[in-house]
């Protein structure tokens, strides 16, 4: 019966602890403020890597890159790049010389 007595003492101690609870004074709008904080819409912030790189800047950048590529292609064809490459290859003995080989 000692065990039952210990359990009863613990129950009594728990119930007696309820008597020590005091009234807490809070502001009259505490509940409203708390509810607003809990359920307030939180703005989703995107991590901006380059915030200045807006769609307008992206469009301008795309146009500039396309224009540079078109200019480079036209200059490459008009300057005779093939002649320059052949000259470079001959200077450094990189040109392909057709040798007679038994494997060809």
Q: Do the domain assignments include residue 39?
A: no
Q: Do the domain assignments include residue 87?
A: yes
Is residue 89 within 8 A of residue 97, CB to CB? The reply is no
Q: Do the domain assignments include residue 71?
A: yes
Nearest to 85 by CA among 73, 95, 71, 100: 95
For the four alpha carbons of 46, 47, 48 and 49, in that order, the dihedral sign comes to: negative
Residue 96 neighbours by CB under 8 Å, 6+ apart: 89
Indicate the pLDDT class of residue 86, thresholds 50, 70 and 90.
confident
Is residue 68 within 8 A of residue 74, CB to CB? The reply is no
Global pTM exceeds 0.75 = no
Is residue 86 within 8 A of residue 95, CB to CB? The reply is yes
Q: Do the domain assignments include residue 75?
A: yes
Q: Do the domain assignments include residue 36?
A: no
Q: Do the domain assignments include residue 60?
A: yes
6-28: average pLDDT? 87
User: How far from 83 is each of 37, 49, 79, 89, 94, CA to CA, in Å?
Assistant: 74, 45, 9, 10, 14
Count of domains forming the chain: 1
Q: Do the domain assignments include residue 83?
A: yes
Domain of residue 102: give its range: 53-104
Q: pLDDT tens, 22-75?
A: 888 888 899 899 888 888 877 666 666 777 788 889 999 999 999 999 998 888
Q: Do the domain assignments include residue 59?
A: yes
How many CB atoms within 10 Å of residue 86? 13
């Amino acid at each position: 019966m000692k065990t039952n007595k210990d359990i009863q003492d613990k129950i009594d101690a728990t119930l007696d602890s309820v008597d020590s609870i005091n009234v807490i004074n809070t502001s009259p709008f505490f509940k409203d403020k708390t509810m607003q904080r809990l359920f307030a819409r939180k703005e989703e912030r995107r991590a901006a890597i380059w915030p200045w790189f807006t769609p307008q800047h992206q469009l301008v950048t795309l146009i500039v890159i396309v224009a540079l590529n078109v200019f480079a292609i036209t200059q490459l064809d008009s300057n005779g790049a093939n002649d320059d490459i052949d000259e470079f290859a001959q200077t450094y003995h990189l040109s392909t010389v057709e040798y007679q080989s038994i494997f060809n």
